[in-house]
Each structure stands twice: as structure tokens, then as C-alpha cells.
Amino acid sequence: MTYLYPFGQQVHTLVQQDRTPKKVFVLGVYASAVHARWKKDGKTVCTALAVASEPRIFWDGNIEEAKEIISKISIPEEVGTLEPAGSHLNGPSAKVLDEHILGTLGYTRKDAWLCDLLPETRLNSGQVKVITDRYNPLIKQYGLNEVTIPERPTVFCDAQRCQKILSELKESQASLLVLLGDIPIAQFLNSVADVPYKSLQEYVELYGYGKATAATIDGHTINVLPLAHPRQIGALGAHSKEWNIRHQEWESNIYK
């Protein structure tokens, strides 16, 4: 099924483009989107409206790319205008990944195979509210499309998707699997490996934060490193101060 953003762009599946062998495989939760500032009559209707799929997985929010993508979106004059959202609102997780995870481990993007449990964007509660309150009332009057993107689920990865991720992991030939937060542990790792933990907290209690341990996945041994989600690491919006501090301490110890 094809899902549509506000103002008509289609949702695209985001997967790893460079499929040469990698050193590290990073598994996140679900894909983000390109966000635009929606303005009308000089006033901001929404500071960060999801309007298009990112150009690639874990996109860094490049402003020129954002301008180009948003410039192609047709919006009636009477409804307002779109421009790139603030720099902190496009690609924040990717910046955290590059600087505070891959960089800390001594890797670059070229060394990494990136994957999400759900390789498409979904609507969080904030997006649902602005679409319901500000966009939907304009649909009939201005002939706008209905937004058909599902809301953020609780289950991001079923058995079939787990097998696809497992195939990507094998293809990557990576020796290190980095899991971003609780959900990849619970919904992927616990489905494909017999490990004595179901959350990041349980892992840390057993082994400590930022310490990789071996796991057997589909008959192959791989080092697994569960870390906090980029939202926590980068203090992006609502976040856990505890995990933010733990990660900072881990980075400090590595750089000593």
C-alpha cells in the first residue's frame, strides 16, 4: 500500500544503499522524515511537519537537500508555504549516530551498514495532532490529499521482518552489531538469539554500559553492543537524563 504525507508525497522504504562489506551493523527503530516549517500569513502553522521521506537511511538533515525536496512539493498559495525546518529538526539522530556512536567507536559511515526495524516513517502523536487540527480541515476546501501514513506502532518488527534484517546482517559481514535502545533488543535480538537480557537496563546490569558481548545468531558468533537510543544520547526532546549521562561517561572513558 502507498502511504501519503501532507501535501502528497509518497512514503518510501529506506534501506542501506552501499551494500559492500561493513565492519559494524547498526539497527534502529523506524525511519524518520524530512520536516518542513509550514507558514501562513506570516505565522507558523507548524514548526516541523513531516512532508517527505528522507533521501537515505539516517539522513543527516543536509539543508540543500532539504530545500530541494521541499521545493518540489506543491502547496496551494491560500494554504501557505513550506520551508526547511530548523537544522535541529532534520536529521538529529543521524548526527548523534555519526558523532557519538560511530565516531566514538572509531568508525565512519563508510564502515557502517544501517538498518531500521521498520524501514518507513510513521506518525508520532505530535504529527497526528497537527494533521488533525490544522491540515485535515483544509482538505475539502483546497483539494488536498488525505494523509494515510499509519501512527507509530508498538510492534515494529514481525517474524518476517526479522528474517529480512537477519539476511541484511549476514550480507553486511559485520563483526559488530549495535542496537539503538530497548526496542531492537526486544523485537529483533530476542527473536533471533538466546541472550539473558530483554532491555538495555538488563544488559547494563549484567555487563556494563558500552561493553560488547558475544552472541550466537543463526549459528554465527557476533559481538553485540546495545546502546541508548540517539534521542537519549543527544538529549533530543523528551529523553532520559540517566542514559544521556551514562553515554557521556562512556565516551569520556574511551577518549581518555
Q: How do residues 69-111 score in pLDDT, each as one tens digit? A: 999 999 999 999 999 999 889 999 999 999 999 999 999 999 9
Q: Are 37 and 56 in contact (CB under 8 A)?
A: no
Burial letters 194-212, b for 16+ CB under 10 A, else e: ebebeebeebbeebebbeb
Residue type, 184: P
pLDDT of 3 reads 98
Average pLDDT value over all residues in the chain: 96
Residue 189 CB neighbours (<10 A): 22
- Is the pLDDT at 56 greater than 80? The verdict is yes
Q: How many CA atoms lie within 13 A of 50 on its CB side?
A: 29
pLDDT at residue 160, rounded to an integer: 97
pTM > 0.75: yes
Using CB atoms within 10 A of its CB, is residue 24 exposed (0-12), middle (13-18) or buried (19+)?
Answer: buried
**Pairing state of beta strands 220-227 and 176-180?**
parallel
pLDDT at 114: 98
Question: pLDDT band at 237, cuts 50/70/90?
Answer: confident
Nearest CA-CA partner of 233 in 212, 250, 216? 250
Report the pLDDT averaged over residues 178-186.
98
Q: Give the CA-trace dihedral at 182, 1, 6, 96, to 10 degrees.
A: 30
Residue 16 reports pLDDT greater than 60? yes
**Cell reading at 45:** 502553522
What one-character DSSP code corresponds to residue 193? S
Look at residue 239 in the predicted model and tell me its pLDDT: 77
Instruction: Specify the range with the lowest mean pLDDT, choosing from 10-19, 85-94, 136-145.
Output: 85-94
In this prediction, residue 240 carries a pLDDT of 80
State residue 150's pLDDT score. Answer: 98
- C-alpha Rg value of the chain to the nearest Å: 19
Q: What is the pLDDT of residue 87?
A: 87
Q: Residue 255: pLDDT above 70?
A: no
The H or E element that residue 104 is part of is helix 103-105
Contact (CB, 8 A) for 202 and 190: no
Q: Would you give the DSSP letter of residue 20?
A: S
Mean pLDDT of 221-235: 94
* High-pLDDT (> 90) share of the chain, %: 94
pLDDT at 256: 53
245 pLDDT above the threshold of 60: yes
* Phi–psi pair at 51, nearest 5 degrees: -125, -10
pLDDT confidence of residue 235: 77
